[in-house]
């Protein structure tokens, strides 16, 4: 049972992605907070690069890029609270398969027939037929409890969906969203996959949510959040060990410096959190150890060779595949940043995840390594139990792995963890404020 004492506690927050930033920000409104970050910068996947061009410096996001007004209620409220400027974005999707021999985009009939030859291809019509079938039946699948333990791949095989639909559309879409391999996408729990598609309007042919991006890049919201943060920040300070005591916790960084705190909020990947706990118990090892992660290489560049061959199908998300797709290899996706962030089109800029073709060295701006949660049946089962860890031995956890791995999931987890640790409340009210994560209702906070 967690008890809450609002105000005047000393709290360590480990990690400065959206979960850690939001937890530290909210906790600091009534407590002393120290924010630890292993990197030399704050923000985690909110990582804006400034690209010098002949037309001026251009801010380009390389991790978190977009959100929408329907599925990101707390992020919308946070941006409004901090007066973060945003603009409309575009979330179109294209696929370029067999080195460009088969290409299409999802932007209406014109995009589907962006390669005119498609109209005469049985492969194209098989794909399109199954697209309409899957999207038509998707919402009804959530009402069938007998499918609860089924993976996406098992369901597709059982229902005899075509190879064209699976390999040319659904798995590429999943790869663009979750940055997974083909094998991992097939192992994704069916209900979780469908629920995400339904809630984000991806099964709708019209009336989809309106997507937006931060004007000037996600660095703009990070800077505003930090400006409103009342605690201490320790950059380039990785945590080596967290030791729980009878009356608090001891946090020791890699330099050997140790500090005592009343509570700790660990806002890192689950495996990193577990590695920091010098005295992890069986429940922590069982739950945190159930999450796995994938490593992805993101390259910011200007090489059009990593886009579809036909500019008529260029979209915001572009799945790129060669003639021989390697089973189990990460799927290659290129984000056209000019369209996503409404950037100057005189200089095309792209972010490619897991490049399947060589990118010209003289066109590479920067390379980043990102880690994403891998959601399988084991992880989904652990999600339902992870809130059981909150407050035990003055330790709280948060992260995007509490939900579907996206910014709103991380934000909801960070805010809920800070509320649980401090009794403070976020300065806004939205419907279903923790609806994307598994959590339990807060006990009555001390006034």
Q: Is the pLDDT of residue 372 over 60?
A: yes
Q: What's the confidence (pLDDT) of residue 7?
A: 63
217-258 pLDDT tens trace: 999 999 999 999 999 999 999 999 999 999 999 999 999 999
Residue 185, burial from CB neighbour count under 10 angstroms (0-12, 13-18, 19+): buried
404-447 pLDDT tens trace: 999 999 999 999 999 999 999 999 999 999 999 988 644 333 22
Are 230 and 29 contacting, i.e. CB atoms less than 8 angstroms apart?
Answer: yes
Query: From CA 396, how far away is CA 412, in angstroms rounded?
Result: 14
Q: What's the confidence (pLDDT) of residue 113?
A: 61
Q: Record the tokens describing residue 353, joined without a space.
A: 């995840």
Nearest-CA neighbor of 386 among 439, 443, 442, 423? Answer: 439
Cβ neighbour number for residue 157 with a 10 Å cutoff: 12
167-219 pLDDT tens trace: 888 988 887 788 778 888 898 999 989 988 887 777 765 667 889 999 999 99
Task: Please give the helix or strand (H or E) that residue 383 lies within, else none.
Answer: helix 377-383
Query: From CA 15, how far away is CA 18, in angstroms rounded?
Result: 9
Q: Which domains does the chain have, with CATH numbers?
A: 10-48+216-289+377-422 (3.50.50.60), 92-207+304-358 (no CATH)
DSSP per-residue letters across 267-331:
-S-HHHHHHHBTT--HHHHHHHTT-EEEEEEEEEE--GGGS-S-GGG--SEEEE--SSPPTTSBP
129-178 pLDDT tens trace: 998 899 899 989 999 999 988 999 999 999 999 998 998 889 888 877 88
Nearest-CA neighbor of 61 among 199, 212, 225? Answer: 212
- Tokens 């572009």 -> residue: 318
Q: Is the pLDDT of residue 116 over 70?
A: no
Q: What's the confidence (pLDDT) of residue 63?
A: 95
Q: Is the pLDDT of residue 310 over 80?
A: yes
The packing angle between helices 18-27 and 407-422, to 10°, is 30
Range with the largest mean pLDDT of 75-79, 126-130, 368-372: 75-79
Query: From CA 414, how far away is CA 25, in angstroms rounded?
Result: 10
Q: What's the confidence (pLDDT) of residue 75?
A: 98
316-352 pLDDT tens trace: 999 998 765 555 667 899 999 999 999 999 999 999 9
Query: From CA 406, how far away is CA 44, in angstroms rounded?
Result: 12
32-58 pLDDT tens trace: 999 999 999 999 999 999 999 998 999
383-392 pLDDT tens trace: 999 999 999 9
Instruction: Report, as an integer, the average pLDDT of 98-119.
Output: 72
Integer-rounded Cα radius of gyration of the chain = 22
Q: What are phi and psi of 45, to 5 degrees?
A: -75, -10
Q: What's the confidence (pLDDT) of residue 444?
A: 32
Q: What is the dihedral of CA 176, 180, 186, 188, to 10 degrees?
A: -90
Q: What are phi and psi of 356, to 5 degrees?
A: -100, -5
What is the DSSP secondary structure assignment for residue 9, as one 8-state letter? Answer: -
Nearest-CA neighbor of 263 among 24, 22, 1, 19? Answer: 24
Q: Which pTM does this prediction carry? A: 0.90
């Amino acid at each position: 049972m967690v008890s809450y004492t609002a105000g005047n506690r000393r709290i360590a927050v480990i990690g400065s992605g959206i979960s850690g930033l939001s937890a530290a920000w909210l906790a600091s409104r009534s407590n002393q907070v120290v924010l630890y970050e292993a990197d030399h910068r704050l923000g985690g996947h909110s990582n804006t690069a400034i690209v010098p061009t002949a037309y001026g410096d251009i801010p380009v996001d390389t991790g978190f890029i977009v959100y929408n007004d329907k599925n990101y209620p707390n992020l919308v409220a946070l941006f409004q609270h901090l007066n973060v400027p945003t603009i409309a974005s575009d979330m179109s999707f294209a696929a370029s398969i067999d080195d460009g021999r088969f290409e299409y985009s999802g932007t209406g009939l014109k995009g589907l027939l962006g390669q005119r030859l498609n109209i005469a291809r049985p492969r194209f019509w098989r794909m399109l037929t199954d697209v309409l079938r899957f999207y038509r039946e998707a919402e009804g699948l959530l009402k069938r409890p007998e499918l609860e333990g089924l993976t996406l791949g098992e369901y597709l095989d059982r229902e005899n969906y075509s190879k064209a639909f699976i390999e040319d559309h659904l798995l590429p879409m999943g790869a663009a969203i979750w940055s997974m391999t083909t094998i991992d996408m097939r192992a994704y729990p069916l209900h979780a996959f469908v629920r995400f598609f339904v809630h984000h309007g991806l099964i709708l042919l019209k009336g989809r949510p309106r997507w937006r991006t931060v004007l000037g890049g996600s660095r703009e919201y990070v800077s505003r959040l930090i400006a409103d943060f009342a605690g201490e920040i320790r950059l380039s300070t990785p945590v080596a060990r967290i030791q729980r005591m009878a009356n608090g916790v001891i946090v020791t960084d890699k330099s050997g410096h140790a500090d005592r705190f009343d509570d700790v909020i660990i806002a890192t990947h689950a495996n990193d959190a577990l590695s920091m706990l010098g005295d992890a118990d069986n429940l922590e090892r069982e739950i945190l150890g159930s999450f796995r992660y994938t490593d992805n290489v993101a390259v910011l560049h200007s090489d059009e060779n990593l886009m579809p061959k036909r500019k008529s199908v260029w979209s915001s998300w572009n799945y790129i595949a060669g003639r021989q797709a390697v089973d189990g290899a990460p799927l290659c996706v290129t984000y056209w940043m000019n369209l996503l962030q409404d950037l100057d089109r005189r200089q095309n800029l792209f972010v490619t995840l897991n490049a399947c073709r060589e990118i010209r060295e003289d066109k590479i701006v920067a390379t980043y390594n990102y880690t994403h949660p891998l959601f399988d049946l084991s992880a989904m089962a652990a999600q339902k139990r992870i809130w059981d860890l909150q407050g035990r031995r003055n330790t709280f956890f948060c992260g995007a792995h509490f939900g579907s791995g996206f910014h709103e999931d991380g934000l909801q987890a960070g805010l809920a963890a800070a509320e649980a640790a401090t009794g403070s409340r976020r300065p806004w009210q939205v419907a279903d404020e923790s609806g994307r994560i598994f959590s339990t209702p807060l006990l009555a906070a001390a006034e």
